[in-house]
Chain A
Amino acid sequence: DGGITQSPKYLFRKEGQNVTLSCEQNLNHDAMYWYRQDPGQGLRLIYYSQIVNDFQKGDIAEGYSVSREKKESFPLTVTSAQKNPTAFYLCASSDWTPNTGELFFGEGSRLTVL
């Protein structure tokens, strides 16, 4: 089945630690995205990538890093510089064209800082 797989689903981190969230898709989509969602809030864009070996900062990129070495994979690292990392992280992909651009989401990763 085609889709997006995120792992882990739940992650606990101590302050000062870096953690990496995995995102893999087999939809053959060029574009991939990372969003962050806080309770009662909408989705905010962290990073996005339209093509392998290229990515762009979104609205809240500080304290995060990404890589796009393969079309299928777009891992997100939450660094110790991110001051408030506890949140629900959503990876998405899209075969976007103007007037469409539907995002397909993974099941999400919930990060809690202890």
Chain B
Amino acid sequence: QKEVEQNSGPLSVPEGAIASLNCTYSDRGSQSFFWYRQYSGKSPELIMFIYSNGDKEDGRFTAQLNKASQYVSLLIRDSQPSDSATYLCAGISGGGADGLTFGKGTHLIIQP
């Protein structure tokens, strides 16, 4: 059974600080991981994906993957109120034909 676990939160972070979102997964065969942002009532939008161990940076966002620990994280630097949303972690494994396995999401609140 493929599982992706996230702390549901809410995670409250002051504006301008670094928000750290974490995710663990059970399937050691998982190859790639995706972070989606979802505003209330809207569909998810992709922030970034990572498939190699280490860090991947894109603007204010950094994804980190540690396959030995089965751990994925997303750091958001200089957090803005517009970053307030639910962040979904998802993994893909095997051939990937059956899509992504999603965690339940972490609700992030950026306090002005």
| Residues in chain A within 8 A of chain B (CB atoms) | 31, 33, 35, 40-45, 48, 50, 56, 58, 90, 92, 94, 96-103, 105-108
B99 touches A103 (CB 8 A): yes
A41 touches B99 (CB 8 A): no
Q: How far is the CB of B67 from chain A (nearest CB, A)?
A: 13
Residues of B within 8 A of A106 (CB): 43
A108 touches B42 (CB 8 A): yes
Contacts A100-B49, A105-B44 given: A31-B102 contact, CB under 8 Å? no
**Choice from A43, A48, A99, A105 contacting B98 with Cβ under 8 Å:** A48
A92 touches B99 (CB 8 A): yes
Q: Does B68 contact A (CB under 8 A)?
A: no
Residue of B34, B51, B90, B96 most packed against chain A (CB within 10 A) = B96
Residues of B within 8 A of A98 (CB): 31, 95-96
Residues of A within 8 A of B100 (CB): 43, 101, 103
Q: Which 8 A-B pairs have the closest CB atoms?
A: A42-B102, A42-B104, A105-B43, A101-B96, A43-B102, A101-B92, A33-B99, A99-B51
Contacts A31-B99, A96-B96 given: A42-B32 contact, CB under 8 Å? no
Residues of B within 8 A of A103 (CB): 34, 44, 46, 90, 99-100
